[in-house]
Structure 1
Amino acid sequence: MVSTPKRRIRNPKYSSPSSLPPSPMRVLSSIEPPPSLLPTKTEIFKLVAVVSIAVSVAVACNLVIKFFNRQPKPFCDTDSESDYYLSEVCDPCPSHGICYEGKLECSSGYTRHGRSCLEDGSINEMAKNLAKMVESHVCESYSEYLCKGINKVWFRWDELWNNMDKVKLLAEDFGKGNATYLFAKNRAMDIVDNLLEMRDSNIGIKEFKCPELLVEHYKPLSCSVRLWLLEHALFLIPFCVLLVGCVRMLLRVCHRHYLSVRAEEIYEQVCDTLEEAALVSRSINGEGEGEPWIVASWLRDNVLTPKERRNPMLWKKVEELVQEDSRLDRYPKMLKGEPKVVWEWQVEGSSMRSSGKKKKGEVKKQKSSDMGSNQDQSLKPMEPLKW
């Protein structure tokens, strides 16, 4: 007998899905979070920026602390035989420095700046001043020898070295010690070696002399001129003689020209004076009024200035011109018991000279009268026009 299967009767409570009890996951999934719970994009960017800045500051502070806390490497010893340039334990000793047990000390004339040695400017200036003092001492002595024949020309090295001790106070002014001063003296002597002429004496000591070009700056002007004249005397003496001769010849030519021109002017005055005397002595009716002659010495004193009277050549030229003129007579005459030479203008010759003067005067008068008549005509009123 076939048995019929039995059906399981479901509980009506759990038969429908809605009637099933809710699971925890289903409950969580059904609950939505509020919108203010999660950050926005702007808030996320701000957070990233703040974190980046904080990390950067922390890294920078760490590097600064490491830098200041780092101990510098010691210096390698100067006398060390090891290849310290490739060593990672110590730094090489800088130039002009002395390193011992990792410490650095600069040589004389150099000061420490950080981990290097630089030249001291004040010591260099002191060395230049010492070298300038030595130069002045040597060159001034040589210039006095050339100008006056005194003082020395060559100086020994030890003399110049000891001479610099006179300005030892210069080192104290710079606040330097004896070691620094010795270094400056050595530097100064190095400058002097390159500046002055040098030779070796018989005993093997260096001697110094001021160069010829440099000593010119220490010579006085008068001495330089005198030495230049002595050096070029063989050329200057003939040149000066030739120059003086040319100047004197030119002055003579100018003086002769002046005498000739001035003599002609005085000759014209003499002729006018003699002609007037001749005309006055004879009136129109032929009656004499006075003497027609004039004493030559009186005439000379009348026409010449006091300065020209001191020059006898001027009146001599005038006498030559008078002697060559046939219109003038020269003859001796006794006046008050003394012989005198008188000059006289011939009446026949005076007519031509006076007629020429009259013609010239008439022409001038005619011109002046014509100009006056023209002016009178221009001043007359215009007559009215007749139609």
Structure 2
Amino acid sequence: MDRPAMEEKGRRRRRRGSPGRRGRTERSMARRQGRSRPEPRWSEPPPGLFPAGIDDLLRLLAVLAIAAAVAAACSVLNRRPAPFCDSDDPYSAYDSCEPCPENGRCVDGELRCVEGFKKRGRACVEDGLLTHTANKIAELLQHRICDEHARVLCGQPGMILFQQHDISSMADDLLSKDAARLSDDGIKVVKERVLQSAHGFLETTSTYDNVQAFKCPELAAELHRPLSCQARQWISSNIIFVITFCLLSAALLRILWSIYQRRALSKRAEQIYEQVCEILEDNAISAKAGNSECEPWVVTSWLRDHLLSTRERRNTLLWKKVEELLLEDSRIDQYPKVIKGEAKVVLEWQASGSLSGKIKKMQGAAGKTRSGSVGAIKLAEEICGSSIISSRDKEHCSSTSKEATNPFM
């Protein structure tokens, strides 16, 4: 076979190619390309590494929170606090120590609170027991000093000026009564505070020998006066006003009392007047009845003694008021009459129209009574009995009855 034929045959084979050769060619090309790109050293994470649900996430957060709290606690416990700077060393470097807190004294890096304060953590706080006791004793001391001044203002024996040793003695006396649960140092602190409070409240002055003294302010002393003393001093300073007020009050009360008495007298007189009218009307009805020996008149003095009580008889104005009402009534006639040899003033009911209405009313309301009817019946019986006797002496005493001129007894 010649050379050109062989080359042609080879070209046709290469043009067709074979699957195995083609695969080997691709693998060789991929191998050559892989040599130029490095392969990664790690692979995908396992499936159970991250939380799959909300429960796993909450557990993870709880574990992280506990770990953070433990780490913070260990950091705090392992950290040592910086010492305090000495109080006597004003040039201490604050970078290596903490400044001494207020109301405290620092020595060798340790804190000691002054009297009246307690150590709380790395600070000094005020002792509540000492403060309460000091305020209480200071108030009692002020009251005692001002009470003495108030006694002098009311004219009683007392003191106004107090020296330093007097105030100190009173403070010791009060502290001895209320020094429970206090140490000796605490009592000293309380006394110092009490004296400071007293000096701030009291006024400073000097005695005649130029010694410093203290006294209660005038306004506070006046407020400590007893109520009786204040009233007495106010009355003495306003005596003219008090006298005028008392006189006007007495006059006003007297006027009001007289008005009340007049109204009560008028009301009682009207009641008696109504009873008199009722008695006269009943007596007139009885006299007009058939076969009755009763007289239509009634003696005025008998009515007075029958209707008035013993106390009311002493009040002459009451019966005079009743007589005025009787004189103004046109239905009642008053005239003198001799009875048993004595001249009397009698009253007689003259309203005939009212009598007929009265009779009809009594006939239609049989069995019923009204106020004062019992007394009227009794008095009518007495009048009927006396009228029989008086009729026998009518002719004998006719001359005397004509001479009687006074209408009232």
Contact 2:161 2:215 in 1 (8 A): yes
Q: Which SS does the other structure have where 2:115 is aligned?
A: coil
Q: How is 1:36-185 mapped onto 2 (pairs within 5 angstroms)?
A: 41=46, 63=75, 66-67=78-79, 70=80, 72-78=82-88, 80-82=89-91, 84=92, 86-146=93-153, 149-169=156-176, 172-177=179-184, 179-185=185-191
Under a length normalisation based on structure 2, what TM-score does the superposition of the two structures give? Answer: 0.59
> TM-score scaled by structure 1?
0.62
Letter in 2 for 1:301: D
* Letter paired with 1:73: P
1:342 aligns with 2:349: no
> 1:295 touches 1:342 (CA, 8 Å); kept in 2?
yes
Q: Are the equivalent residues in 2 in contact too, given 1:76–1:90 (CA < 8 A)?
A: no
Q: Distance in 2 between the 1:111 and 1:233 partners?
A: 60
Specify the alignment match of 2:353 in structure 1.
355
Relative to 1, partners in 2 of residues 1:198 and 1:121: Cα closer, same or farther, differing over 3 Å?
same
Tell me how far apart the structure 2 counterparts of residues 57 and 291 of structure 1 sit (CA, whole Å).
126
For 2:125 and 2:290, the matched residues in 1 are separated by 120
Return closer, same or farther for 1:358/1:174 CA change in 2, 3 Å cut-off. Answer: same
> What are the Cα deviations for residues 240-266 of structure 1, in whole angstroms up to 9, with x where unaligned?
322221222122123223323432442
Which one-letter code corresponds to 2:302 in the other structure?
W
Contact preservation (8 Å) 2:298, 2:347: no
- Identity across aligned pairs (percent)? 28
Higher mean C-alpha displacement, 267-276 vs 294-303:
267-276
Letter of the structure 2 residue corresponding to residue 358 of structure 1: S
How far apart are the structure 2 equivalents of 1:289 and 1:45? 139
* 1:313 equivalenced with 2:317 (yes/no): yes
Amino acid across the alignment from 2:87? D
1:281 shift after superposition:
6.7
Task: Specify whether residues 197 and 258 from structure 1 end up closer, same or farther in structure 2 by C-alpha distance, changes over 3 A only.
Answer: same
Q: Which has the higher contact order (CA 8 A, sep 6+)?
A: 2
The 8 Å contact of residues 281 and 292 in structure 1, kept in 2 or not, is answered as yes
1: CA distance between counterparts of 2:69 and 2:326? 127
Distance 1:57 1:222, change over 3 A: closer
**Per-residue CA shift, 1:215-260, capped at 9, x if unaligned?**
64x5555555555555554434322322221222122123223323
Tell me the equivalent position of 1:260. 266
Number of the residue aligned with 1:303: 307
Distance in 2 of aligned mates of 1:357 and 1:308:
31
**Bigger shift: residues 90-99 or 264-273:** 264-273
The residue number in structure 2 matching 1:379 is: none
Q: Report the Cα distance in structure 2 between the residues aligned to 1:142 and 1:91, rounded to whole angstroms.
A: 52
For 1:197 and 1:332, locate their aligned partners in 2 and report how far apart those are by CA, in whole Å. 96
Equivalent pair of 2:334/2:347 in contact (CA under 8 Å): yes
The whole-number CA distance in structure 2 between the counterparts of 1:76 and 1:181 is 28
2:219 counterpart of 1:212? yes
Distance in 2 separating the partners of 1:56 and 1:320:
115
Aligned residue type for 1:240? C
Gaps of 5+ in 1: 1-37, 369-387
- Count of residue correspondences: 308
